[in-house]
Chains A and B, each alone.
Chain A
Amino acid sequence: MKSSVIIFPGSNCDRDMDVALKKFGFNNKMVWHNDTALPKSDLIVLPGGFSYGDYLRCGSIAGKSKIINSVIDYAKSGGLVLGICNGFQILTETGLLPGVLQQNKYLEFICKNVHVKINDTKNKYFKNIKKEILELHIAHNEGNYFCSNDELKLIEDNNQIAVTYCDKDGTCNNNSNPNGALKNIAGIFNQNKNILGMMPHPERMIDKYLSGEDGSIFFENLIGNLN
Chain B
Amino acid sequence: MKIKVIVTLKNGVLDPQGKAIQQTLNGMGFESIKEVRQGKYFDIEVNENEETKAKSKVEDMCKKLLANLVIEDFKII
| A residues with CB within 8 A of B | 56-57, 60, 64, 92-93, 98-100, 102-107, 144, 146-148, 180
Specify the main secondary structure of chain B where it touches its partner: helix
* Residue numbers in A under 8 Å from B65 (CB-CB): 56, 60, 64
Q: How far is the CA of A56 from the CA of B61 in the complex (A)?
A: 13
Question: What residues on A are CB-neighbors of B39 within 8 Å?
Answer: none
Q: A107 contacts which chain B residues (CB < 8 A)?
A: 16-17, 20
Query: With contacts A56-B65, A146-B13 known, is A102 near B20, CB below 8 A?
Result: no
Q: What 7 pairs between A and B have smallest CB-CB spacing? A: A100-B70, A107-B16, A100-B71, A100-B68, A103-B16, A57-B68, A105-B16
| Shortest CB distance B41–A (Å) | 13
Contact of A146 among B14, B20, B66 (CB under 8 A): B14
Query: A-B pairs with CB below 8 Å: how many?
Result: 34
Q: Give the interface of B toward A (CB within 8 A).
A: 13-14, 16-17, 20, 64-66, 68, 70-71
Q: Specify which chain A residues have a CB less than 8 angstroms from the CB of B70 in the assembled complex.
A: 92, 98-100, 146-148
Q: Point out the residues of chain A lying under 8 angstroms from B14, CB to CB.
A: 102, 105, 144, 146, 180
Which of A98, A104, A146, A180 sits near B71, CB closer than 8 Å? A146
Contacts A57-B68, A106-B16, A180-B14 known; list 13 others, CB within 8 Å.
Answer: A56-B66, A64-B65, A92-B70, A93-B68, A100-B68, A102-B14, A102-B71, A103-B17, A104-B16, A105-B14, A107-B16, A107-B17, A144-B14
- Which B residues are in CB contact (< 8 Å) with A60? 65, 68
